[in-house]
Structure 1
Amino acid sequence: MGNVAIVVASHGEFAKYALDSAQMIVGKQENCGSMSVTMDLTLDEAKKNMAKTIDELDCSNGLVILVDIFGGTPSNVSGNFLLENDNILVISGLNLPMLIELLLNRDKPLNQIALQLEEAYKQGFTNINKLFEERGEEDDECQIL
């Protein structure tokens, strides 16, 4: 199986910069795009922008759309495409660990990608204060790892 296409979508420019940041870590990626919902964009314009972004990609191996917030415009627009196609995975909760996980595992089937993104989302959260409290103040350096 080849690589799935990826669209990262968010309110504001978050998606664009998240994709830029992830590529800084894992390297430049092909067959990826981002879509930003800005204050001046109507719902119809958002749908057109998403369609344009998807049309520019090779989705023959599937498409993963990673959105910021469930129920927001990027999520709702993505849901419309999900209803029209059966080879799309839409996941909310965009964060950098999830995006990196997606970029590193985009050669897998959509159902496996979904499971890995769920796990990456959980592992991406660490209460560092709690971690420090559990480890105690054994030395003066601020070492977490």
Structure 2
Amino acid sequence: MMSESENEVAVILASHGYFAQEALKSAEMIVGKQKNCATFSVTEEMSLKEARNQLFNIYNSLETKKGTVILVDILGGTPSNVSGALCLQTDNTVVLSGLNMPMLLDLFTNRTRSLKSIAKLLKNAYQLGFKNISDTLTEKRQDNNGSSFL
């Protein structure tokens, strides 16, 4: 019988500073505590070698049979570079940039899907998560004389 963590993809959130840790805390406020999930924080005093070793240790501490999704804050930074190196050396790992709350919530509520399906879902969540609310409010005000919010 498969344990719950074997049925879900492993998740690593990686960022400069402690953004990943705080994003996880915020997401867990909404969807509940997550298992088989870890954060990776690159700090100023950390060397590239230390960052790489720490990420590989985190990866090795997780149940990765179903696959691993690594969400990084920005493309081209140390978190994405060492995550890319890990992706090249492991099977069934996907690295995605642009860590944000809509992506994270969609990931945590769809962890039993395939990696390919999750990657597609998160791309969509990233795109749908961006909205110029000011423009929307201005348009609504013009259409409805300000009688509704969104």
Q: Please give the TM-score of this superposition, normalised by the length of structure 2.
A: 0.91
How far residue 46 of structure 1 moved from its aligned partner, in angstroms, is 0.3
Q: Note if contact 2:87-2:94 (Cα within 8 Å) is conserved in structure 1.
A: yes
Aligned positions of 1:4-43 closer than 5 A: 4-43=9-48
Q: Out of 78, 91, 102, which is 1:86 matched to?
A: 91
How far residue 140 of structure 1 moved from its aligned partner, in angstroms, is 6.4
Deviation string, structure 1 residues 95-124 (Cα, Å, up to 9, x no partner): 011011100111000000000000000111
- Runs ≥4 in structure 1, deviation > 3 angstroms? none
Q: Using the alignment, how far apart are the partners of 2:28 and 2:58 within structure 1?
A: 18
- Give ranges in structure 2 of 5+ residues lacking alignment: 1-5
| RMSD of Structure 2 on Structure 1 (CA) | 1.3
Q: Out of 59, 62, 75, which is 2:64 matched to?
A: 59
Confirm or deny that 1:101 pairs with 2:106. yes
Q: Note if contact 2:140-2:146 (Cα within 8 Å) is conserved in structure 1.
A: no
Q: Please give the TM-score of this superposition, normalised by the length of structure 1.
A: 0.95
Q: Using the alignment, how far apart are the partners of 1:52 and 1:85 within structure 2?
A: 13
Q: Using the alignment, how far apart are the partners of 1:112 and 1:105 within structure 2?
A: 9
